[in-house]
Structure 1
Amino acid sequence: MDPELHETLERLHRRIEEQRLGSTHLLNPATLARTTALPQATVEALLRGETPEPEHLDQQIRFRVKARTRTNLAADAQTLTHLANQVHRHLGITRRRARSILNGERTPEYDALPRLAEILRTEGGAEFFTAPPAQVLNRALLAELDQSKTPATIEDVMRQHGVLHTDLRLHGTMEPDQFAQFIGRIVESLNPPTGEKQ
């Protein structure tokens, strides 16, 4: 297993335990496959600590371009024709070639990858298409680690502190970080520092 990915997975598992987060949410292979534009089987193998079969670089690029295209089309509700027109204009290639690149049928020129990365709004530029799978997954998991530092909802804060129920009529307008401070102070007041009389 890639050492950096192994370390990130260990950190993520510790964070899941500390914050009582659901591992199925943060380590969902289908979600990670969409985010990384990796085949789901590759993501599953990497999460198990296995090294997936290497792909030829051209095949890898075609797959990731196609996967990223599908993700963008679903998120933006734009058409393949519209996206192909953007690629046609910015890369100076025919619309037909642009469409076949977006469909994963043809490999784009390597010098066009940085511009294609901008059009498809990928993080990491051309490396998004060319980096080894372990590196791509590691980058996505590091982003998950950054996001999981701050609770997304009040329910996440409650779960983190083991609070089962609360009356949110007075506190329902708090932001998650404000609620985390509030709960943290309550827990702190119930657990005085060692050596103090209770």
Structure 2
Amino acid sequence: MASPSPLSETLRRLDRVVQEKEVRTKLLDAAELACRTALPVSTVRSLLQGGTPPDDSVNDRVRTRIAALAEAEMAATGKRMSDLASDISERLGVSGYWARQVCDGKKVPSVELLHGLVEYFGVEEGEAFFTASAADALNRVLLPVLHGLEEPENDPVLALMDRYGVRSADLRAHGSLTREQLERLLEGVLRSVVPPDGGRER
């Protein structure tokens, strides 16, 4: 019997930890997830319902996701396609015509130029953002949501805060401390409960 796919397992675990339907709807908004994955909303909806996305090739994925990012960039900045293509042309040292063809989803960039587009659009996941299957792309975005809902024992920092009673005010969730301040606080807590010599018997 085949094991469940990573996405189906993530969705199963999400269903288990999310009790209220309206919360699940808010967390799994198809339009928002489509923006974060550069997938069509219809594909995201289908995947969330356990469906199978349309067959595509790696080249298809690259073309459509670059086009989706280009559309999002123009919507966010007010740039026209000619402006965006000109900007990419200057940044990556390619012709304006090529840049426009790529942004329109008509051409597939080389690996080197795809790397340049990763930097241009600020894609944290690197080239895999463009080449991953639709299910893998959605799973990548959903996993942090799942981890945030699951038991704090899965988060070593939260578990440590719970153990020593530091989390009563939920400092990290409320943003009252920076990461550095939180680290200093936890170091102080550890120093107060661990002997200076590491607990070795004299």
TM interval, short-chain normalised: 0.5 to 0.7
Cα distance in 1 for residues equivalent to 2:61 and 2:121: 16
Identity rate of aligned residues, in percent? 35
Letter in 1 for 2:132: A
SS of residue in 2 equivalent to 1:22: helix
Cα distance in 2 for residues equivalent to 1:101 and 1:2: 35
Cα distance in 2 for residues equivalent to 1:14 and 1:43: 20
Match of 1:10 among 2, 9, 12: 12
Match of 1:52 in 2: 53
CA distances 1:29-53 after superposition (whole Å, capped 9, x unpaired) = 2221121111222212211222223
Cα distance in 2 for residues equivalent to 1:22 and 1:34: 19
Cα distance in 2 for residues equivalent to 1:146 and 1:79: 39
CA distances 1:42-65 after superposition (whole Å, capped 9, x unpaired) = 212211222223212222211100
Cα distance in 2 for residues equivalent to 1:67 and 1:44: 17
Give the TM-score taking structure 2 as reference length: 0.65
Structure 1 residues 2 and 103, CA gap change in structure 2 (3 angstroms): farther
Give the TM-score taking structure 1 as reference length: 0.66
Residue 24 (1) aligns with residue 44 (2): no
Q: Which runs of 5+ in 1 are unaligned?
A: 150-174, 179-198
Cα distance in 2 for residues equivalent to 1:138 and 1:114: 22
Cα distance in 2 for residues equivalent to 1:31 and 1:148: 18
Cα distance in 2 for residues equivalent to 1:88 and 1:75: 19
CA distances 1:112-152 after superposition (whole Å, capped 9, x unpaired) = 11210111122211111111111100011123335668xxx
Cα distance in 2 for residues equivalent to 1:90 and 1:2: 43
Q: Give the CA deviation at 1:110.
A: 2.6
Residue 125 (1) aligns with residue 154 (2): no
Q: Which runs of 5+ in 2 are unaligned?
A: 151-171, 176-202
Cα distance in 2 for residues equivalent to 1:20 and 1:51: 23
Residues 113 and 125 of structure 1 are in contact (CA less than 8 Å); yes or no, is this contact kept in structure 2?
A: no
Cα distance in 2 for residues equivalent to 1:94 and 1:146: 43
Match of 1:166 in 2: none
Match of 1:115 in 2: 116
Cα distance in 1 for residues equivalent to 2:123 and 2:72: 11
Cα distance in 2 for residues equivalent to 1:62 and 1:93: 17
Q: Give the CA deviation at 1:20.
A: 7.2
Cα distance in 2 for residues equivalent to 1:116 and 1:138: 22
Residues 43 and 137 of structure 1 are in contact (CA less than 8 Å); yes or no, is this contact kept in structure 2?
A: yes
Match of 2:69 in 1: 68
Q: Give the CA deviation at 1:3.
A: 2.0
Cα distance in 1 for residues equivalent to 2:71 and 2:55: 23
Q: Give the CA deviation at 1:75.
A: 2.5
Q: Cα RMSD over matched residues?
A: 2.8
1:129-140 to structure 2, matched below 5 A, reads: 129-140=130-141
